[in-house]
A and B are shown apart, each in its own frame.
Chain A
Amino acid sequence: RKEVEQDPGPFNVPEGATVAFNCTYSNSASQSFFWYRQDCRKEPKLLMSVYSSGNEDGRFTAQLNRASQYISLLIRDSKLSDSATYLCVVNVGTGGFKTIFGAGTRLFVKA
């Protein structure tokens, strides 16, 4: 079983749709959580950090449920420019870093 698992995708949605990404992690020592975005043949870039209290940045909302070891990302009013791969990322432990990436979920937003 992978340490970080994401919906396999791809997701194909029309502009304006709401789309939800799900992620689960298996290591209870996980300390911090993120969503990264990766465009085709480009490097990953931070989209947002994820906190137990939840956080929102414009059309994007991220949630963390530590009890269920579950992370989510919601995109409202999808734009064509949201088309990308969304990576769930978990940092495990303290001190030295162990960063685990999910395999990613590809999103296609169509006009």
Chain B
Amino acid sequence: NAGVTQTPKFQVLKTGQSMTLQCAQDMNHEYMSWYRQDPGMGLRLIHYSVGAGITDQGEVPNGYNVSRSTTEDFPLRLLSAAPSQTSVYFCASSRMEGGGDYEQYFGPGTRLTVT
């Protein structure tokens, strides 16, 4: 099992550019999520999905779009990059039947710089 994979690992964008961060998991997890991590802020939830075709907003969704067409993939789109979106982005997945007491598995992260 590859677990949770993310691409790219590093990315530099100019203000106003758009791009998609890829995330895939091979554990057949229903729940997938995107976080951003900034110094001193911990991880903040951007968007999450509880299954194919179902997505919802987290704590900081503005400027990001997601879709979930398959169980395996959960891409994050930056519509028009801004310097405030410079951060480390983590994708995570977990089981979810029976409640929320399951381990979240994280991808290795994407380090994004917007100039």
Contacts and interface: CB of A to CB of B under 8 A. Distances in A.
B100 A97 contact: yes
A43 interface: yes
Interface of A: 4, 31-32, 34, 41-46, 49, 87, 91, 93-94, 96-104
Contacts of A102: 42
Contacts of B48: 96-97
Interface string B61-76: 0000000000000000
Nearest to A3: B59
Contacts, number: 57
Place the interface of chain B in its size category. 20 to 34
Nearest to B6: A43
Given A87-B42, A103-B42, A32 B90 contact: no
Contacts of A100: 45
Interface in B90-104: 90, 96, 99-101, 103-104
Contact of B99 (A4, A31, A103): A31
Interface of B: 31, 33, 35, 40-45, 48, 50, 56, 58, 90, 96, 99-101, 103-104, 106-109
B65 to A, nearest CB: 19
21 contacts: A4-B42, A31-B100, A34-B103, A41-B109, A43-B90, A43-B106, A43-B107, A44-B43, A44-B90, A46-B103, A46-B104, A49-B101, A91-B100, A96-B50, A96-B56, A97-B31, A97-B33, A97-B50, A101-B35, A101-B42, A101-B44
